[in-house]
Structure formats: C-alpha cells, structure tokens
C-alpha cells in the first residue's frame, strides 16, 4: 500500500526530484536564485547601482547582469565571493 493509499501525502518533493534525476540541478538553480536575490536586496539597501558594483568588482556591466540573473547558474564561486565582499558580506557554503 502506498503513502497516498494510506492517507499520507505521498513522497517528499526532494525524493521526486532525485527519482527524476533533477535534484542536484534544482538545488544549484535554487541556490543561485537566492544569492542573486540577496545581492540585489543588499545593493538596493546600500544604494549601489549595477554600474557602481561592476566598477567595484572591476568587471563589465554585462558580467554584473549575469551575476544578478537568477536564471544564470554559470557564475563562479570566486565571482560570488567577490560580490559578497563588495557589499560587506561573506559567502557561506556548506556540505550537509
């Protein structure tokens, strides 16, 4: 008898993603979206424009746009770390 037949809600969503083979990619995309959102929020709080941030990071405005794009997961950890430091924060990653 399945969890649904027993009156349960069924499997956990992360188990579903693992079965579909998309768990790791989904976690990576979610993490990038959160980091991009946090950076945008902090930049807004500190009145830092994208142009000013790009200058501070010594990078192009198009690279800054990629960094803040929640859909772009091709940003390096080094870039994320530099961006966090530029707004007075640290990037924290952990294995769980």
Contact call for residues 42 and 50 (beta carbons, < 8 A): no
Topology (CATH level 3) of domain 13-86: 434 Repressor (Amino-terminal Domain) (1.10.260)
Quick one: which of 67, 22, 63 has its CA closest to 40? Answer: 67
For 70-87, write each residue's pLDDT tens digit.
888 888 889 999 999 999
Q: How far is CA 11 from CA 17, 22, 23, 27, in A?
A: 10, 15, 14, 18
For 37-83, write each residue's pLDDT tens digit.
999 999 999 999 999 999 999 999 999 999 999 888 888 889 999 99
Q: How far is CA 4 from CA 15, 18, 19, in A?
A: 15, 19, 17
Task: Give, for 82, the enclosing helix (H) or strand (E).
Answer: helix 77-86
Length of the chain: 96
- Is the pLDDT confidence value at 96 over 80? no
């Amino acid at each position: 008898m399945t969890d649904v037949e027993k009156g349960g809600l069924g499997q956990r969503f992360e188990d579903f993603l693992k079965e579909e083979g998309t768990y790791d990619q989904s976690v990576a995309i979610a993490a990038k979206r959160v980091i991009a959102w946090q950076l945008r929020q902090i930049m807004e709080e500190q009145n830092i424009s994208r142009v000013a941030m790009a200058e501070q990071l010594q990078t192009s405005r198009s690279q800054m746009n990629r960094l803040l794009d929640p859909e772009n997961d091709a940003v390096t950890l080094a870039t994320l770390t530099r961006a966090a430091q530029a707004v007075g924060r640290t990037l924290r990653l952990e294995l769980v």
